Amino acid sequence: MRIATACLVLATLGTQAHAQPVLVESEVADFSVVEVATGLEFPWSIAPLDAGNLLVTEREGRLNHVNVTSGEVTAIRGLPDDILVSGQGGLLGVAIHPDFDQNRLVYFAYSKGTERANRTSLARGRLSEDMSTLEAVETIFDVNFEKRRGYHFGGRVQFMDDLSVLLTTGDGYMHMNESQNLENHIGTIVRVNDDGSVPFDNPFATTAAAQPEIYSYGHRNVQGIAIHPETRRAWAHEHGPRGGDEINIIRPGDNYGWPLVTYGIDYDGSIISEESEGPGFTSPVWQWTPSLAPSGMAFYSGDQFPGWEGDLLVATLAGSTLLRYEVDNDSVLTEERMLSDLGQRLRDVAIGVDGYVYLAVDDLDGRILRLEPVVN
């Protein structure tokens, strides 16, 4: 179902960390928004399989195969029976192994435990040829800190070029100071090999008392991660408190400062830190104040939107927009806003093998949408 025709709209929603907001002329790249699938309960993450199929997680604890041609949604059996669905927790990010065509391995993040003692975990399983079942499912990594309440799990999964896996975590909301404590995985991005073992070149692999899986730390709640197509560095964005959502370039061993430095304030208006940057902390390349609650990100690569090649796409929840950024190596050049007329909370954005842009609408009656270029 075609539900709208939209174009890029000029926006000034964010700022570079060390510059004024960037204003640009819209390229007026028209596209249609096509409804691909419906009836999904809070869809959380999209992993394209091939030109006709997607894997889509639902936060409520379901993994689905979605046929993008027919719109048919089929539940996949075999998930762990210990998924905790509470608050922001449940079944979270999903990614397929780069060698999926040979090994059919699917990786997914989920929360487990109880309301008073929970954590983020990473598991993998082998998808059956008929796409009905995950087989030989095993948990390959557990955050080592049991946090209270169902907030700030992180949960995005991203493969690197060397087949290692990045998993984002959160600070648990009530445990923000733990983001500076290398003895646990709270408020970090962790890196493991595809079997869950520790890469020998992780920055803290030989540091006494530090958790060897930690790749970077000082994060609040990382909700999007993607690999830059040229530099091959990981980019990630995270939720700030009230203001101070950030885009960061992730470098091994770096400290991103939370909660010692932040562009945001607490929800009650109190000051978390007087400083937005400082020695020893890596500053964001972009920040949003007020917050947009970014969730999901992808660098565009495909034939459908050649003018977007290499651009960064960011979905937002509170902002109810899709943002497009022109980037140059480690810099953000421009920001443009799309889909604000839909008024939908967007949980994820992914680039299909077919070159279309797929979006997950975060709702009790959630949907998968597709952006298609308008042919004049």
Instruction: Answer whether 190's CB lies under 8 Å from 167's CB.
Output: yes
Cα distance between residue 220 and residue 264, in whole Å: 11
- Indicate the SS3 state at residue 177: helix
Identify whether 237 is a catalytic site residue: no
Which residues touch 101 (CB under 8 Å, ≥6 apart)? none
Cα distance between residue 335 and residue 8, in whole Å: 10
Instruction: Answer whether 141's CB lies under 8 Å from 153's CB.
Output: no
CA dihedral 102, 104, 109, 110 (to 10 degrees): -160
Tokens 């839909």 map to which residue?
342
Q: What angle do CA 219, 225, 228 make, to 5 degrees?
A: 120
Torsions phi, psi for 29 (to 5 deg): -90, 100
Neighbouring C-beta atoms of residue 159, cutoff 10 Å: 17
CA dihedral over 326, 332, 334, 338, signed as positive or negative: positive
- Which residue type occupies 205? A
Cα distance between residue 35 and residue 302, in whole Å: 20
Cα distance between residue 104 and residue 96, in whole Å: 8
> 152, 175, 185, 237: which one is catalytic?
152
Q: What's the token pair of residue 261?
A: 């430095």
Give 226's strand partners. 235
Q: What angle do CA 146, 151, 156 make, to 5 degrees?
A: 90
**How many CA atoms lie less than 13 Å away from 349 in the CB half-sphere?**
32
- Indicate the SS3 state at residue 311: coil
Cα distance between residue 328 and residue 230, in whole Å: 9
Question: Which residues are known catalytic residues?
Answer: 152
